[in-house]
C-alpha cells in the first residue's frame, strides 16, 4: 500500500487531479471517493481565501475538474474518456445520489440509471 500513498501524495502536491481520479477509478474501482476528496480540497482552499481575494488558477481548475468528473459519473461515462464498467454503474449512480457530497443538491435520477 506504500506505493499508493506515495503516488497520491505526489498527485496532490503537484495538482494532478486527473491522476487522483484515475488511481481511484482504475486502481480501486472507487468512483465516489475522488469526488469527496476533490470537493474537500476545494472547500479548504476556498475557506482560506480572504474576503478581498479572488480564486486562483488552481481553484478554478479544480472546480472545473470536479464538475466534469461528477457529470461523467452521473452519465455512466469514465473520466476523462470511455465508460464506467457496466457492472459498476449500478453502484456508482446510487452512491452519488446519497453521498454527503450532494447533501444540498436535489435530483432524483441520473442518465445511466434510467
Q: pLDDT category, 95, cuts 50, 70, 90?
A: low
Q: pLDDT category, 108, cuts 50, 70, 90?
A: very low
- Predicted pLDDT of residue 94: 63
Tell me the percentage of the chain whose pLDDT exceeds 90.
Answer: 15
Please tell me the total count of domains within the chain: 1
Instruction: Tell me the chain's radius of gyration from C-alpha atoms.
Output: 15
Give the range of the structural domain holding residue 50, as residue numbers without chain letter: 2-113
Q: What are the Cα distances from residue 16, in Å, to 9, 11, 75, 78, 98?
A: 10, 5, 23, 17, 27
- Predicted pLDDT of residue 46: 78
What would the pLDDT profile of 28-65 be if each residue is shown by its tens digit? 888 888 888 898 888 888 788 777 778 888 888 888 99
Q: pLDDT category, 78, cuts 50, 70, 90?
A: confident
- Predicted pLDDT of residue 86: 79
Q: What is the mean pLDDT of the chain?
A: 78
Amino acid at each position: 500500500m506504500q506505493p499508493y500513498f506515495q503516488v497520491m501524495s505526489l498527485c496532490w502536491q503537484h495538482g494532478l487531479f486527473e491522476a487522483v481520479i484515475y488511481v481511484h477509478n482504475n486502481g480501486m474501482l472507487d468512483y465516489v471517493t475522488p469526488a469527496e476528496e476533490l470537493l474537500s480540497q476545494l472547500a479548504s482552499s476556498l475557506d482560506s481565501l480572504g474576503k478581498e481575494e479572488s480564486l486562483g488558477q488552481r481553484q478554478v481548475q479544480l472546480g472545473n475538474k470536479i464538475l466534469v468528473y461528477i457529470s461523467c459519473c452521473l452519465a455512466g461515462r469514465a473520466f476523462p474518456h470511455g465508460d464506467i464498467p457496466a457492472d459498476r454503474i449500478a453502484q456508482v449512480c446510487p452512491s452519488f445520489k446519497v453521498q454527503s457530497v450532494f447533501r444540498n443538491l436535489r435530483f432524483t435520477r441520473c442518465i445511466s440509471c434510467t
